[in-house]
């Protein structure tokens, strides 16, 4: 059972377009992370957001944590073929201790040259 | 090595066979996690170790799944009497300490892709 729902599940767009991926839950998380996973590899951390309403930018990627800390979004500007991959959001309930990650269902992004 | 390594990378098993999947965490990392990733899904937590102690095994789907980390470094995930629904990618991740929540990055290995026929 996955508590984090991502949408869309699949997204295929042309190079240069903008896109937004959503991660929603009915649960409150102390932190929300975004990962990117390439075929045959494990997820790689892109960013962590911890404060409600927080916005972080990583080059052309903008991440936002919802005010209530139940949802998050990833916006990519001027998508490039190198952005192709599986994007996963993952939440942690606690701020401390050892915390397993609760992953979302994933968004498979394909950027067409 | 520089990262988390897992072996084998691919495993094909006949239904009913036992399999053992190995994880070598980053040297010195105290905490180790196992996740299961079904096709087209996000990873799901299986179990967690701090050194050799298995502190959380709430995600193991049945008593056919068993994990160990006897010396606090390498870990093995064993699946007995494999079934078709066990087909998935099994990911291992490690963190340096495991006491800092989100402050500690989980570094993932490439996974073992298990196919049960």
- Which CATH number goes with the domain that contains B11? 2.60.40.10
Residue B87 lies in a domain: yes
Q: What pLDDT sits at residue A83?
A: 96
Q: How confident is the model at residue A99 (pLDDT cuts 50, 70, 90)?
A: confident
Q: Could you state, in order of their start, the residue ranges of all structural domains in chain A?
A: 14-98+108-112
A14-98+108-112 carries CATH number 3.30.465.10 = no
Q: What percent of chain A has pLDDT over 90?
A: 88
Which residues of chain B have a CB within 8 Å of the CB of A40? 9, 110-111
Centre a 10 Å sphere on the Cβ of residue A101 and count the other Cβ atoms it contains.
Answer: 24
Nearest to B50 by CA among A94, A93, A98, A101: A98
Q: Specify if B45 maps to a domain.
A: yes
* Chain B contact present for A4, CB below 8 A: yes
- d(Cα A81, Cα A68) in Å, to the nearest integer? 33
Distance of CA A92 to the CA centre of its chain: 13
Residues of A whose CB is below 8 A from B9: 40
- CB atoms A98 and B105 under 8 Å: no
In the three-class reduction of DSSP (H, G, I as helix; E, B as strand; rest coil), residue A100 is classed as: coil
pLDDT tens-place string over residues A8-29: 999 999 999 999 999 999 999 9
Report the alpha-carbon distance of residue B86 to residue B24 in Å, rounded. Answer: 22
Instruction: Name which of B98, B102, B111 is nearest A92 (Cβ-Cβ).
Output: B102
User: Which among B42, B56, B110 has the least Cβ separation from residue A42?
Assistant: B110
Domain boundaries, position B51: 5-108
**Res A95: pLDDT:** 67
Per-residue pLDDT reduced to its tens digit, B43-68: 999 999 999 999 999 999 999 999 99
Give the total number of structural domains in chain B. 1
- Position A97 scores a pLDDT of 66
Provide, as residue numbers in chain A, all residues whose Cβ is less than 8 Å from the Cβ of B45: 100-102
The verdict on residue B115 lying in a domain is: no
């Amino acid at each position: 059972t996955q508590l984090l729902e991502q949408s869309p599940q699949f997204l295929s767009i042309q190079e240069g377009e903008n896109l937004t991926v959503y991660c929603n839950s009915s649960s409150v998380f102390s932190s929300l992370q975004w990962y990117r996973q390439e075929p045959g590899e494990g997820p790689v951390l892109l960013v962590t957001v911890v404060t409600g309403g927080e916005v972080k930018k990583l080059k052309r990627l903008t991440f936002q944590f919802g005010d209530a800390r139940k949802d998050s979004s990833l916006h990519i500007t001027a998508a490039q073929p190198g952005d192709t991959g599986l994007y996963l959001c993952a939440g942690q309930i606690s701020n401390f201790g050892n915390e397993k990650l609760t992953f979302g269902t994933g968004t498979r992004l394909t950027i067409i040259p | 090595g520089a990262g988390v390594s897992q072996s084998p990378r691919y495993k094909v098993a006949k239904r009913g066979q036992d399999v053992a999947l190995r994880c070598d965490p980053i040297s010195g990392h105290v905490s180790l996690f196992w996740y299961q990733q079904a096709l087209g899904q996000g990873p799901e937590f299986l179990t967690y170790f701090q050194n050799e102690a298995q502190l959380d095994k709430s995600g193991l789907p049945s008593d056919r799944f068993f994990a160990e980390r006897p010396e606090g470094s390498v870990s093995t995930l064993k699946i007995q009497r494999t079934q078709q629904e066990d087909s998935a990618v099994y990911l291992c991740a490690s963190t340096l300490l495991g006491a800092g929540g989100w402050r500690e990055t989980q570094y993932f290995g490439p996974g073992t892709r298990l196919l049960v026929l």
